[in-house]
Amino acid sequence: AYQKALVSAEALVVSTKQSILGGERVNLDALNAEQQLYSTRRDLAQARYDYLMAWTKLHYYAGNLRDTDLAKVDEAFGLHNEK
């Protein structure tokens, strides 16, 4: 749902900027649309983080958390180091 909201918020920013060029909207409308976009991005990132934390804790408490599981979390965050 957050992913679809992100696509919608991105489209709103684009359409609002086009409306400004057409004289139908003002810059404040664009700022509000961008604020909504960044709020949606934040909410999506938080949902992903919460999911990964729950997944990791589940494996940890089940006693089967492995290095490969942590590597998947690392990859999901894009934290893997390139050598």
* Per-residue model confidence (pLDDT) at position 27: 87
Which position has the higher pLDDT, 77 or 43? Answer: 43
d(CA 12, CA 36): 9
Neighbouring residues of 43: CB distance < 8 A, sequence distance ≥ 6: 2, 5
- Report which residue type is found at 59: H
Q: Decide if 32 contacts 19 (C-beta within 8 A).
A: no
pLDDT at 83 over 50: no
